[in-house]
Every structure is written in C-alpha cells, then in structure tokens.
C-alpha cells in the first residue's frame, strides 16, 4: 500500500523509472510516448543532457542561499534573458522566480494590488477573469479561475471574482459573425463588467492568451487582445497574462502574447520555463509596474523561502538556451502545422469530434455526442478519462479534461508534445490517439 496521498486514492499508478527522449519508461520496461508533456510541461523531453549538466554544475557550486542575503548568477541571467525577449511594450521589466504556477498567480495578484496602493488607488480591489479558465489550485488562484467544477467544493472560501465569458469560438461565435465582430463583442464584455463594478474599484483583468486545460488550447480571435489592452488602459486596470501553460514557446513564439501584438503589465510563466527538470515559475512585471514600486515603497510586498532558487533557475536558463540555440520554436511551428493537418485529416469527418483547435504544439480535440447540436456527452460517462486510459494502454500519454462546454460537461483531449518532436513522432501521436478515441467511442451507447 502506498503512503503517498495520490490524486486518486484507489488508482494503481505505474512507477516511472526512466526517460528516453520523448518517451517515459515504467518499471516493467513499458515505453510511453509523451504527447502532452504531463500537463504541457516537458517541452524538451525527459533526458536533455545540457539541462541535466547545468543543474548538476549548479548543485556542485551552491544550491540555496536565501534571497534576503544574496542574489545568484543563474537567476540574474534568466531574468535578463526573459526581459530582453518580452513582448514589445514590456519595457525594462523585472522578474521574480517562484516554485509553481499557482504561486506565481498569487504573487501576480498581490503585485497588482501593490501597484495600485503605491499609486494611492486603494479602492482598486476587484479582479475580473474569464470562464472557462484555470489559474491554479491555491485559494486566490482558484477564486480567479473560471472552472465551476474545481471551484465548487471551496466556494465558501473563495474571494469574489467577476467572470466574463472566454472567447470560445466553437460554441460562442454566432453563425455569420466575422472574426473581428466576434473579437469585439467578446472583448467588450470586459468594458461592460468594469463599468458595472465601477472602474475605480477594479485592479486587474486576468486571462490566458491561449486558454489551456479548462477550455482546450483555445486561441483568441484576431484583434481580441488589442481591444482588451485598450479597455484596460482606458480604465486604469492592469492586464495579467497567465502564460503558465501557453508561454515559453508552446504556441510557436516565446511569449504567447507576442502573436497578439500587445504586452501585458504582469505575466506569469511556469511549465515550459523549466520543462519539468526543476519546479520553477516566474512573474514578470512590466516597467510601468516596477516604476510604481520604485517611486513608492521600493519594496516587494511578497516573499517566499525558495524564491530565485539557484538550481531551479540554472535548470530553466539551460532550458531556454537549448530552445534558442537549437531554434526549437521553428520546429514548434513546423511540427504544429503537421499536427494540425493530421488531426483535421484524421478527425474532421468523425461524427463525435466537434472541434479541433489550437496553436503551435498545443492542440485539442473536443468530443460531442451530436455534431449538429454540439451536445456534449454527460460528464458521468468520463469519456476523456477513458480515452486517456485507452491511449496509455497503447503507450501514449495525452491530457484529458472535462467541463469546456458548461463548466461540468464537455470532454476534450489536449496534446502538448515536446518541442523536439520529430515528424514520425507527430504522426504516431495522431495515429495512437485516433485508435484510443475509436476504442472508447465504440463502447459508448449512442
């Protein structure tokens, strides 16, 4: 019997004992092609030599020195690396390094509050976010996320966050509505909500530039984020981009927002930052936010013991250099096109695949019981989990999720393969996924 408090208390998990390129290996020797990076984490596969060496080198020098006494070289270099490559408009920003995406989201929310307090706008306390969305599991991040199922048990503990609809093209774009009109209509929901709450009370709007697990790799319609930027600026509201899942190259550019032509005031990063070799997350504050603190208290009102951990930042720095030196973003774009085309070719005519959506190496298939009405399968059927199981039997890891349609129902399966994926691996991913989907759908009562 295991004494680990696992996610499921009655599941029997295989024990992982090794990594080989984009494969994981369990104790029986079975190999799993990792098509989802666990949860869009392992963007360089599982055994990158350069990253492993960088981590070992740092441990041999010094692992930990508390940030109230020292800074360290890898944290300094990684912060400069990120700020130099940040979307235009970020200016001379600064970065804090933390341990998880949820921790980064908490720190981002507190930073937004500090920004307004430093500028004498104490009434700004309200957060607006989108639904569906996921921003983490700690209480502030959970309150911010728009995922009804995950929030439900903790509702009495959650702060009051206003949610607007995310731009979910498959279900929300009207017939005949142009992309521009859809973008404008969805972005204007923010303007309306800010006015309802009172512009002087709103501190931040939080959004994932490409929505991750909650909605299934949903990019925004063209022009949406430009309009969001204008609305935030008009009302003095900070824009927080949660790039924990979609950032660091996953969508084909280092920062997902680059492709929208705007910069956020605060950006959170995690998964692809360290690629899973070490736990690490980051909060990047744009120059405007840093300036407010510099002109105010001069102090960051946030701190954690393991901030700027030298081994974690050394690992992440090596990850980012590998991505840059091996030109892997080009591979993300090329293999991403291959993945998109292969998914459309394989699933386009399938009566139970309602939508194929994504960007870069970040793709999702959404399952429906009926294509014409877009009706979902009931959540209790646990279709996406069954597909994950069937795929695992075939030696493929994919990421199942539920709730995209209405917070509870709506099955989708997310793919986030490694940036080092080969054409053969992408073809194999689609082939195995199609077999897993077919196996499960054949057993479903229709």
Ligand X SMILES: Cc1ncc(COP(=O)(O)O)c(C=O)c1O
Question: CA 162 → CA 107, 129, 194, distances in Å?
Answer: 19, 6, 9
Q: How far is the CB of 56 from ligand X (least distance, A)?
A: 24
Let me know: does 105 contact 282? Beta carbons within 8 Å: no
Let me know: does 164 contact 190? Beta carbons within 8 Å: yes
Q: How far is the CB of 265 from ligand X (least distance, A)?
A: 17
Q: How far is the CB of 295 from ligand X (least distance, A)?
A: 30
Q: Which residues bind ligand X (CB under 6 A)?
A: 39, 100-102, 105, 134-137, 208, 212-213, 242, 244-245, 270
Q: How far is the CB of 257 from ligand X (least distance, A)?
A: 13
Q: CB-wise, 39 or 394, nearer to ligand X?
A: 39
Q: CB-wise, 363 or 377, nearer to ligand X?
A: 363
The closest residue (CB) to ligand X is 101
Q: Is 152 exposed, middle or buried (0-12, 13-18, 19+ CB in 10 A)?
A: exposed
Q: CB-wise, 213 or 356, nearer to ligand X?
A: 213
Q: CB-wise, 70 or 154, nearer to ligand X?
A: 154
Q: CB-wise, 270 or 430, nearer to ligand X?
A: 270
Q: How far is the CB of 446 from ligand X (least distance, A)?
A: 32
d(CA 256, CA 138): 24
d(CA 109, CA 422): 39
Q: How far is the CB of 242 from ligand X (least distance, A)?
A: 5
Q: How far is the CB of 31 from ligand X (least distance, A)?
A: 25
d(CA 384, CA 386): 5
Rg (CA), the chain: 21
Q: CB-wise, 94 or 135, nearer to ligand X?
A: 135
Q: CB-wise, 146 or 410, nearer to ligand X?
A: 146
Let me know: does 258 contact 329? Beta carbons within 8 Å: no
């Amino acid at each position: 019997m295991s004494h680990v408090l696992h996610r499921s208390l009655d599941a029997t998990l295989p024990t992982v004992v090794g990594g080989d390129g984009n494969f994981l290996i369990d104790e029986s020797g079975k190999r799993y092609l990792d098509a989802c990076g666990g949860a869009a984490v392992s963007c360089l596969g599982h055994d990158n030599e350069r990253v492993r060496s960088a981590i070992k080198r740092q441990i041999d020098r010094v692992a930990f020195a508390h940030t109230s006494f020292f800074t360290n070289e890898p944290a300094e270099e990684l912060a400069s690396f990120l700020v130099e490559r940040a979307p235009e408009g970020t200016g001379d920003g600064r970065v804090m390094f933390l341990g998880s995406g949820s921790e980064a989201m908490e720190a981002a929310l507190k930073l937004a509050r500090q920004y307004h307090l430093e500028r004498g706008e104490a009434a700004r306390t309200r957060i607006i976010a989108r639904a569906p969305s996921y921003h983490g599991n700690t209480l502030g991040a959970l309150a911010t996320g728009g995922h009804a199922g995950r929030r439900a048990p903790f509702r009495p503990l959650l702060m009051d966050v206003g949610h607007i609809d995310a731009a979910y093209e498959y279900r929300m774009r009207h017939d005949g509505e142009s992309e521009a009109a859809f973008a404008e209509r969805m972005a204007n929901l923010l303007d309306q909500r800010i006015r309802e709450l009172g512009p002087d009370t709103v501190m931040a709007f939080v959004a994932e530039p490409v929505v991750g697990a909650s909605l299934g790799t949903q990019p925004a319609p063209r022009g949406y984020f430009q309009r969001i930027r204008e609305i935030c600026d008009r009302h003095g509201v900070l824009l927080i981009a949660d790039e924990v899942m979609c950032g660091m190259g996953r969508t084909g550019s280092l920062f997902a927002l680059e492709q929208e032509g705007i910069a956020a005031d605060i950006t959170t990063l995690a998964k692809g930052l360290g690629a899973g070799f070490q736990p690490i997350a980051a909060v990047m504050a744009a120059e405007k936010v840093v300036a407010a603190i510099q002109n105010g208290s001069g102090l960051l009102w946030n701190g954690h013991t393991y901030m700027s951990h030298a081994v974690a930042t050394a690992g992440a720095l090596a990850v980012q250099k590998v991505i840059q030196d091996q030109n892997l973003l080009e591979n993300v774009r090329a293999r991403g096109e291959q993945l998109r085309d292969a998914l459309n070719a394989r699933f386009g005519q399938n009566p139970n695949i309602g939508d194929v959506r994504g960007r870069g190496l970040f793709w999702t298939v959404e399952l429906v019981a009926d294509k014409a009405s877009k009706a979902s399968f009931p959540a209790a059927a646990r279709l996406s989990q069954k597909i994950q199981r069937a795929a695992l039997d075939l030696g493929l890891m994919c990421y199942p999720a539920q709730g995209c349609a209405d917070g509870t129902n709506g099955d989708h399966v997310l793919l986030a393969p490694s940036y080092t994926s080969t054409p053969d691996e992408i073809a194999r991913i689609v082939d195995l996924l199609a077999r897993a989907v077919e196996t499960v759908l054949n057993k479903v009562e229709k």
